[in-house]
Amino acid sequence: MYAWKCWRESRARFFFLLILFSVTALLFTLQPGIEVRDGWWHFDRNEYIRNPWPTAHVVFSMILSVLWCSGFLSAVFLGATAPGSEIEPGTIEYLWTRPRTRASVTWTHWGVCVGEMVLVAVVPIYLAAALLGALTKHWDFPFLFSAPWMMVIVGLPVLGLTTLMTALRRSASGGLIYASGVVIVYAILRQIIIVPLHLNLPTLFAGPLIWLMNNNQFGVTPSAFPWGALWRAVFLAAAFPLAAQYLLKRAEV
Amino acid sequence: MSEAAILTEGLSKSFAAQTAVTQLNLRIQPGAVYGFLGRNGAGKTTTMRMLLGLVRPTKGRAQVLGLDPTKEAELMRILERVAFVPQRKQLYGWATPAELVRMNKAYFPRWSDEAAAGLAQRLEIPMKTAFKKLSIGNQSKVALLLALAQEAEVLILDEPTAGLDPVMVDEILRTLIEDHVSQGRTIFVSSHHLGEVEQICDWVGILEEGRLLLESRLEEIRQEFRLVIASGEGLPATQSADVVSATTDGRFRRYVVAREAERFATELRSQGAAILEISPLGLRELFLHLVRKEDPCTPGNAGAKAVPVSSFS
């Protein structure tokens, strides 16, 4: 029943993100065929049939340039409804006097958010892929099909971080702001350190997505996959919610 | 002796430098209706939270239905059998009472749909309005409905009638007596409304600054407790087994005596004291005498000042 409560509480944010990213992905897919003739918008499918791969590459680049952040955004917005966010408004007294362990509550919320994150990442891009396939009559877009899963992999540590920050800050807004702050400050710090000091500070967990954005050309042999960044992401995706679970288990309200 | 529904032994809780509860010993028998009284900040809510695992004791131990709330597995079994109405009746603002009922019933195996429907009708709760749009009184009623329909063995109620009008207070008290007290359920209730406590409770405990000042059967208070006012030199200042409170008020000494007040008065007379008054105590007067640090002001003597002993002679 707590899963239903999590869904009920986050569904507005979920639908907002889903619609926003789906509309964006579909518009970017149609964009190469749109032209203005005699002051009117027209759609010409010939470009998709004549040059399927370059067109697909353009579409994919445009989609990724905007939707790369979908994992991050859905993680912070959905993750901010984590159990820690109920401490400040006081509903935690109700929640923690139901016969469910605090660990099960934490992981149920995490599970619901992962499900929503997967849908927010998969649905827009697979819709775009389906439309692109119908327009080009080709269905072989491996990068496009793997992109949502990279976004989820990048989003999972952020979801865990947001869960941890809501437990630390004991509020939804605190969790959202602090989780975003940590990610943004690290990214800025990384740039500041890399350029003048030539230090190779690793990407915290965005490596797989950066690799995808740099290797999205069809027919080109991709560079080595950043397995280190992937394992770092997996480790942090598990470590952050575990830390939140520990904090919440010890919390007094 | 049967297993206590609620038991605390030396239960203490401190928050940093502040002590909330000190060495609290309670033994509440199954079926008892126990009024837990005290001023704001006396430690009532902290005690209830310790019983429900929301706060961990600093020292001592607590048991609810023979189970330890500091152990997670046992706490889950406590929470299945205990209903709680918190002081801050905060539920999900987006949810309607009907949704809250659906959500709540999934947690409790003994949940009664019939009781929930009956309570919704008796308490006149608008079941399809979002919780955040309800008045404070209606929000309290929803919290009560969720607790009472749980058909729990123990009810822990922290100021359950706060924000309710007198008609609803009466309805709630009747519900508690008819549906819960009569079925032998244990009720542990804190309230500032002493009239309500007198109406439903058979035991009271009075807490002040985290310490239990008094624990007694309500019937015993009515029959045995007396206020003895004496004046004279060298009167005993300390409390004893029978004297639960001794306060100085100008040249007078006021004693709250738990039993055998006449014998106590005779002892004082033998020490040369003049006994000015021996009067029975209601719960309200007893409470005020115990927790007030200055002269008690009841409606009858609001603003009363100490009167010199010569006035009585």
Q: CB pairs below 8 Å between A and B: how many? A: 56
Instruction: Answer whether residue B1 shows pLDDT above 60.
Output: no
Any idea which residue has 């502040």 for tokens? B18
| Residue bearing the bigger pLDDT, B126 or A52 | B126
Mean pLDDT of A99-122: 96
| Confidence band, pLDDT 50/70/90 cuts, at residue A231 | confident
Residue B303: per-residue pLDDT = 30
Q: Is A1 on the interface with B (CB under 8 A)?
A: yes
Chain B residues touching residue A89 (CB < 8 angstroms): 90
ipTM of the complex: 0.84
Q: Is A3 on the interface with B (CB under 8 A)?
A: no
Helix/strand/coil for B131: helix
pLDDT > 70: what percent of chain A?
A: 95
CA angle (A46 as vertex; A42, A47 as ends), nearest 5: 95
Instruction: Answer whether residue B307 shows pLDDT above 60.
Output: no
Q: Is A101 on the interface with B (CB under 8 A)?
A: yes
pLDDT > 70: what percent of chain B?
A: 91
Asked whether the beta carbons of B173 and B185 are under 8 A apart, the reply is no
Tell which of B45, B99, B107 to mutate to test the A interface (max A CBs under 10 Å).
Answer: B107
Domains defined for chain B, CATH in brackets: 6-217 (3.40.50.300), 225-312 (no CATH)
Asked whether the beta carbons of A41 and A34 are under 8 A apart, the reply is yes
What span, in angstroms and rounded, lies between the C-alpha atoms of B221 and B210? 22
**In this structure, what are the phi and psi dihedrals at residue A214, rounded to the nearest 5 degrees?**
-85, -15
| Token code pair at residue A116 | 């929503």
- Total-model pTM: 0.86
Type of residue at A227: W
Cβ neighbors of B204 (< 8 A, separation 6 or more) are: B34, B35, B36, B37, B197, B214, B215, B216, B218, B221, B283
The tens digit of pLDDT for each residue in A170-213 reads 999 999 999 999 988 988 888 888 777 777 666 767 777 777 77
Contact B103 A4 (CB under 8 A): yes
What span, in angstroms and rounded, lies between the C-alpha atoms of B292 and B249? 12
Q: Roughly what angle, to the nearest 10 degrees, separates helices A52-67 and A2-30?
A: 140
What span, in angstroms and rounded, lies between the C-alpha atoms of B183 and B228? 39
Lowest-pLDDT choice from A199-203, B191-195, B281-285: A199-203
Instruction: Answer whether residue B283 shows pLDDT above 80.
Output: yes
The tens digit of pLDDT for each residue in A201-217 reads 667 677 777 777 777 66
Q: DSSP per residue over B187-240, as a string?
A: EEEE-S-HHHHHHH-SEEEEEETTEEEEEEEHHHHHHH-EEEEEE-SS---S--
| Token code pair at residue A11 | 């569904």
Q: Roughly what angle, to the nearest 10 degrees, separates helices B97-105 and B113-122?
A: 160
Of B26, B19, B20, whose CA–CA distance to B186 is shortest?
A: B26
Asked whether the beta carbons of B191 and B35 are under 8 A apart, the reply is yes
What span, in angstroms and rounded, lies between the C-alpha atoms of A83 and B34? 33
10 Å Cβ neighbour count for B264?
22
CA angle (B159 as vertex; B158, B162 as ends), nearest 5: 145
Q: Is A91 on the interface with B (CB under 8 A)?
A: yes
What is the rounded average pLDDT for all residues in chain A?
Answer: 89
Q: Residue A140 carries which DSSP code?
A: -
Residue B302: per-residue pLDDT = 32
Query: Of B86, B95, B99, which is closest to A93 when you measure between CB atoms?
Result: B86
What span, in angstroms and rounded, lies between the C-alpha atoms of B215 and B206? 6
**Chain length of chain B:** 313
Q: How far is B107 from chain A (nearest CA, A)?
A: 7
What span, in angstroms and rounded, lies between the C-alpha atoms of A72 and A49? 34
Residue B4: per-residue pLDDT = 94
Q: Is A88 on the interface with B (CB under 8 A)?
A: no
Residue B310: per-residue pLDDT = 32
Mean pLDDT of B263-276: 88
The tens digit of pLDDT for each residue in B83-118 reads 999 999 999 999 999 999 999 999 998 999 999 999
Lowest-pLDDT choice from A117-121, A226-230, B276-280, B285-289: A226-230
